[in-house]
Amino acid sequence: MAAPAPPVARPAPPSATTYSNRSQVRRNTLLGWSFILPNFAGFALLTLVPVVATFGIAFTKWNAYSTPEFTGLDNFTRLVQDGNFRVALFNTVYYTVGHVPLTMAASLLLALALNRKLRGVAFFRTAAFFPYITSIVAVAVVWNMLYNPTQGPINQFLLTLGLEDPPGWTSDPSWAMPAVILTGVWKDMGYYMILFLAGLQTIPPELHEAAKVDGANAFQRFRNVTLPCLRPTTFFVLIMLTIGSFKVFDLIVVMTDGGPGRSTLVLSQLIYREGIVNGRFGYSSAVALALFLLVLAVTVAQYTRNKRLES
Amino acid sequence: MASILGPRTSTTAPVPPTTPGPDRRRARPVRPWATPLAYALLTVLAALLLVPFAWMVSSSLKTNAQVFTVPIQWIPRELHWENFTEIWSRVPLLTYLRNTTFLAVVITFLQVFTGSFAAYGFSKIRFPGRDGLFLAYIATIAVPWQAYMIPQYILMQKAGLVNTFTALILLQAFSAFGVFLMRQYYMSVPDELVEAARIDGLSEYGIYRRVMLPLSVPALASLALLTFVNTWNDFMGPFIYLTSNDLWTVQIGLRQFIGQYDAEYALIMTGSVISVVPILVVFLLGQRYFIQGIATSGMKG
């Protein structure tokens, strides 16, 4: 490559500013922007502007047929008193608290089980990944039938196990959320398994060998070698899963549509109903802002906790 | 437990020369039951994971009355293949498939092109403000889409684009994720290579086209596959933006069919199978790139 070329051809990075005169900088800026612009134009208009706009609209009274009118914190005082909001907030947290640890455990177990050089292991990895690439509508319709309280295979199985009164799953307000969480775990674990597998493969085998020589058993090796080495992956998965769980939307819409009653109504759904169905742009943006701040707060908390654990 | 198997043992072999005595005892446990046990475990796991699929395929070949029988017939006594011909006359499935394919192809093409093009600017051209701009891109990946879907909708409504393909294409073709994924890859291409091409007199666009694009085929394939599958499976986008039947995608069409004929269990399953099969084929063909793309997106940099 260009390696033999002496320093003339390859200015060290810091000197980039010193050797390049103003016209060079301008030329590079124009060139750089010419590459970025096709994507940036779409991105700025459809992502950046809306993100910023949410903050403004949340403080207005604005319906589909009116002009926006600044109302200060009115939307937020209404939010606190809104029963639907409180139920949706509770359900969103409920889903997250169930979905995050279960998916993490399941995907890590899958990754550990499949992180070996067995003949045919690729087949099992593919199988574990199938649910993730299956469309949410197909997933919902199959699981809703599996969950059928009287004739579904799941309850038939539970009956043969001797369970007298199996749960009503998606038709029972107190079981609907666990049912949705379970389906969510099944669908998502293949994705996070891939991330864990990638992480596991960065652990040098020598560490395990050394621990084995020192007489550590499989569980001790998992606790003292695998888990610490996997820390960056675990943290990344945790963040992704948390954000993903807080914004759960399509799974709920197609499986239960928030029901029975309001037992699975979540924040994203409330934003959709208020904003797009009812055309209450201002109020729904306030709900959206609340969701955003919630996600931000939890992410920052996890981030600082991770920083503290690292040091 | 069973991780010291087959090929793994060959890599352990060179390690023990330190203390031959006790170590030989340790290096030996090629437990004869370990491999079958591992397979048995994996098979149980795979069965659990795949049961819903088995049920879907099996039900798609039954009559409505046979779908819920006690006990379950996993293999239908008679196969009702006619479900797969009947469904086409019950729902305009062909239109849905065509719409979905059109959207997926256009969005994937735009995403891969604009994403890799921008990634070149972000990774190989140095100019003031570049890194700050990239940070803005990354930051929005962490913002839940639901948090800004209302302003997006208002924008589309004002532009008169609700209920058009254009709305979905515009919303999904310029995602920050594509730029992020491609930049990750371009950062791993040595700058010397680009520098050498510059000295050889190639313009930046020439370098992008003749050096970077050929080098990044695996990354392009990853991004293309991920985008294609995501667009094909997307439910919320079409659900919010497409209201007329002749614009619907497979997902919306299927969902509508379920709502309309909720007792047609067998046909619903037939429709589900048809909606899933194309994506399974695409996935199986490009599995390697698909997995690679996900693994890369997990590595921050």
User: Between chains, do A151 and B68 touch, taking CB under 8 Å as contact?
Assistant: yes
Phi, psi (deg, nearest 5) at residue A209: -60, -45
Among the ranges given (A48-52, B94-98, B205-209, B287-291), the one the predictor scored with the smallest mean pLDDT: B287-291
How do the residues of chain B divide into helix, strand and coil, expressed in percent and rounded to 5?
75, 0, 25
Helices (H), B130-245: 130-142, 149-158, 165-172, 176-187, 191-199, 204-207, 213-215, 217-233, 236-241
| Superfamily of segment(s) B87-297 | MetI-like (1.10.3720.10)
Q: Helix B250-260 vs helix B93-124: angle between axes, to the nearest 10 degrees?
A: 140
Q: List chain A residues with CB under 8 Å of B173.
A: 42
B267: three-class secondary structure by DSSP: helix
**Tens-digit pLDDT profile for residues B226-279:** 899 889 988 988 998 998 888 899 889 888 888 888 778 888 888 889 888 888
Task: Please state the rounded mean pLDDT for residues A112-117.
Answer: 83
Task: Please state the rounded mean pLDDT for residues B210-236.
Answer: 89
Q: Measured between alpha carbons, how far is A270 from A164 in angstroms, rounded to an integer?
A: 37
Q: What is the pLDDT of residue A219?
A: 83
Q: Is residue A1 within 8 Å of residue B196, measured between CB atoms?
A: yes
Q: Is residue B266 within 8 Å of residue B279, measured between CB atoms?
A: no
Mean pLDDT, all residues of chain B:
81
Q: What is the pLDDT of residue B8?
A: 35
Structural domains of chain A, with CATH = 74-310 (1.10.3720.10)
Q: Which of B12, B195, B287 sits opposite A2 (nearest CB)?
A: B195
Task: Please state the rounded mean pLDDT for residues A76-82.
Answer: 86
DSSP A211-254: HHHTT--HHHHIIIIIHHHTHHHHHHHHHHHHHHHHT--HHHHH
**Tens-digit pLDDT profile for residues B108-135:** 999 999 999 999 999 888 888 888 888 8
Integer CA distances (angstroms), A120 to A116, A127, A128, B43, in order:
10, 11, 13, 11
Percent of chain A with pLDDT over 70: 94
**Tens-digit pLDDT profile for residues B83-106:** 787 878 888 888 999 999 999 999
User: Between chains, do B5 and A25 touch, taking CB under 8 Å as contact?
Assistant: no
User: Between chains, do A25 and B52 touch, taking CB under 8 Å as contact?
Assistant: no
User: Between chains, do A113 and B275 touch, taking CB under 8 Å as contact?
Assistant: no
Q: Measured between alpha carbons, how far is B252 from A258 in angstroms, rounded to an integer?
A: 18
How do the residues of chain A divide into helix, strand and coil, expressed in percent and rounded to 5?
75, 0, 25
Is residue A284 within 8 angstroms of chain B, CB to CB?
Answer: yes
Q: List chain A residues with CB under 8 Å of B272.
A: 137-138, 141-142
Q: List chain A residues with CB under 8 Å of B56.
A: 138, 142
Pick the residue from chain B with its C-alpha nearest to A281. Answer: B150
Q: Is residue B196 within 8 Å of residue B249, measured between CB atoms?
A: no
User: Between chains, do A133 and B283 touch, taking CB under 8 Å as contact?
Assistant: yes
Q: What is the pLDDT of residue A95?
A: 95
The pTM of the full predicted model, rounded to 2 decimals, is 0.83
Q: List chain A residues with CB under 8 Å of B300.
A: 236
Q: What is the pLDDT of residue B22?
A: 44
Residue A107's pLDDT band (boundaries 50, 70, 90)? very high
| Res. B2: pLDDT tops 70 | no
Amino acid at B201: G
User: Between chains, do A249 and B146 touch, taking CB under 8 Å as contact?
Assistant: yes
Amino acid at B183: R
Percent of chain A with pLDDT over 90: 19
- Can you give the length of chain B in residues? 301
CA B145-B149-B150 angle, 5° bins: 150
Q: Is residue B146 within 8 Å of residue A268, measured between CB atoms?
A: yes
CA-based R_g, chain B, Å: 26
Q: Measured between alpha carbons, how far is A117 from B262 in angstroms, rounded to an integer?
A: 45
